């Protein structure tokens, strides 16, 4: 058995309000999330001896985790500030479990918050959108993040005959789920026709193929499996984790339609001792609709080129073969930047606690969450379970 399998459990979670939150900055939202997650676990700030955060673009600090510890007046023996885009959330879980397994910390909080909607001017937002490009080979030509993903979308269409309708079905599924979430940013139902009629952002991506721009924060508390059994909430165990890193800049990628999710997923499955067929519910990074199709395939849920039909046939629905992003995902719940994928994590924890209300997947026992940073660059997959067996 892998030495990290099942040694740590998530025992507390908290989502702040999301969407347009003009009265709180990233530091306040991060603090709110941390305090809420500790309260959910029945713990206090005094119990925290490990803290992992991700920096804010709207309110950056040189040493972000240390700053948050200072703000909260806690003095942990272990801190870490991560920067791997959306994939940093689940890489943080990987680090937290390692810290617990090796005795570096007993109780680790992973927390992130951002104000992309209200904390950046239009010029700052555009500078952020263009900063992913290589400074020599990409930025001089002016592409932004949607343009890079438009390139990926077109390559996928050319490789497998996918259509804009296939992409749109991903957005419709996410919105269907968000309509059941009382705090999702977008809760009006949409159709495939609505997606195709929305304005073009970066051919072939329409507005509703693109994730939201949001404020919000999120935190989870991890501790050892032994201690978790004595706390307030039913523990959700970290059974497997894996990372995959294929490139930093899109001009250096070797393949536009196959990602390092194949590597991160394989490593996570091997650690957990499960396969794609064992997963009951998933949270899959959906910054743009084509990304979901590529990740579904690379994670083993579909053969290459088959994910479009899988989605249009209801595969992501609550009663589908793989209920996915049951909170609404980045497309409809919120996209707060680096913290965005954390809401998929807390949703999957709720699913495994069987506390998701109208969104509950029947008898969910095992969940997979996956996120990536950059332009399909840095991937991390985590597998969670109700039981530590």
Cα separation, 101 vs 3, in Å, equals 8
Sheet strands (E) in the chain: 8-15, 50-54, 78-82, 107-115, 200-202, 205-206, 215-224, 236-245, 281-284, 366-373, 378-385
Alpha-carbon separation of residue 305 from 16, 280, 292 (angstroms): 37, 22, 12
The whole-chain average pLDDT of the chain stands at 95
CA nearest to 373, candidates 4, 50, 54: 54
Q: Are the beta carbons of 196 and 171 closer than 8 angstroms?
A: no
Among 74-88, 259-273, 342-356, the minimum mean pLDDT is found in 74-88
Q: Which two tokens stand for residue 319?
A: 């009663």
State how beta strands 366-373 and 50-54 pair. unpaired
Q: What pLDDT score was predicted for residue 31? A: 97
Question: Tokens standing for 59?
Answer: 């309110």
C-alpha 195, offset from chain centre:
23
Q: What is the pLDDT of residue 151?
A: 96
Please give the sequence-ordered ranges of beta strands (E in DSSP) within 97-178, or none if there are none: 107-115
Q: Over range 184-202, report the average pLDDT.
A: 98
204 upstream amide cis, omega within 30 of 0 = yes
Q: Has residue 3 got a pLDDT over 90?
A: no
* pLDDT tens for each residue of 141-185: 888 899 999 999 999 999 999 999 999 999 999 999 999 999 999
- Report the pLDDT averaged over residues 58-86: 91
Q: What is the dihedral of CA 123, 131, 65, 68, to 10 degrees?
A: 10
Q: Answer whether residue 38 shows pLDDT above 70.
A: yes
pLDDT at 61: 92
Mean pLDDT of 282-288: 97
Going along the chain from its start, the domains and CATH numbers come out as 8-119+212-385 (3.40.47.10)
Residues 6 or more apart whose CB falls under 8 angstroms from that of 277 comprise none
126-144 per-position pLDDT tens digit: 777 767 788 898 888 888 8
Alpha carbon distance 281, 367 (integer Å)? 5
pLDDT value at residue 333: 98
Residue with tokens 């209801």: 314
Which structure tokens are listed for 167? 């992409």
Compute how many other C-beta atoms are within 10 angstroms of the C-beta atom of residue 87.
Answer: 28
Which position has the higher pLDDT, 191 or 59? Answer: 191
Q: Is the dihedral of CA 270, 339, 352, 292 positive or negative?
A: negative
Strand 50-54 to 107-115 pairing:
parallel
Least confident interval from 17-31, 79-93, 143-157, 162-176: 79-93
Burial of 311 (0-12, 13-18, 19+ CB in 10 A): buried
């Amino acid at each position: 058995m892998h030495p990290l399998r099942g040694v740590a459990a998530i025992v507390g979670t908290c989502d702040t309000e999301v969407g347009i939150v003009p009265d709180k900055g990233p530091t306040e939202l991060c603090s709110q999330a941390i305090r809420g997650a500790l309260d959910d676990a029945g713990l206090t700030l005094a119990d925290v001896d490990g803290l992992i955060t991700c920096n804010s673009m709207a309110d950056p600090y040189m040493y972000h985790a240390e700053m948050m510890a200072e703000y909260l007046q806690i003095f942990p023996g272990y801190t870490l500030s991560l920067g791997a885009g959306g994939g940093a959330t689940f890489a943080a879980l990987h680090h937290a479990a390692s810290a617990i397994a090796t005795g570096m910390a007993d109780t680790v909080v992973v927390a992130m918050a951002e104000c992309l909607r209200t904390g950046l001017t239009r010029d700052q937002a555009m500078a952020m959108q263009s900063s992913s490009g290589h400074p020599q080979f990409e930025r001089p030509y002016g592409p932004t993040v949607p343009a890079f993903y438009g390139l990926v979308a077109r390559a996928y269409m050319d490789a497998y005959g996918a259509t804009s309708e296939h992409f749109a079905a991903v957005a419709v599924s996410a919105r269907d789920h968000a309509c059941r979430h009382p705090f999702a940013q977008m809760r009006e139902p949409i159709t495939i026709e609505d997606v195709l009629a929305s304005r073009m952002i970066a051919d072939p991506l329409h507005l509703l193929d693109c994730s939201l721009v949001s404020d919000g924060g999120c935190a989870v508390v991890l501790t050892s499996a032994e201690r978790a059994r004595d706390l307030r909430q039913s523990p959700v165990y970290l059974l497997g984790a894996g990372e995959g890193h294929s490139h930093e800049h899109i001009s250096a990628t070797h393949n536009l339609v196959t990602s390092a999710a194949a590597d991160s997923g394989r490593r996570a499955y091997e650690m957990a001792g499960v396969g794609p067929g064992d997963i009951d519910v998933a949270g899959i990074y959906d910054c743009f609709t084509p990304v979901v199709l590529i990740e579904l395939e690379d994670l083993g849920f579909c053969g290459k080129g088959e994910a479009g039909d899988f989605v249009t046939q209801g595969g992501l629905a609550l009663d589908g073969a793989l209920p996915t992003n049951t909170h609404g995902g980045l497309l409809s719940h919120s996209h707060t930047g680096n913290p965005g994928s954390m809401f998929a994590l807390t949703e999957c924890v709720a699913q495994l606690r069987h506390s998701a209300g109208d969104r509950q997947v029947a008898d969910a026992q095992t969940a997979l969450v996956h996120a990536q940073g950059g332009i399909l660059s840095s991937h991390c997959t985590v597998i969670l379970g109700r039981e530590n067996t």
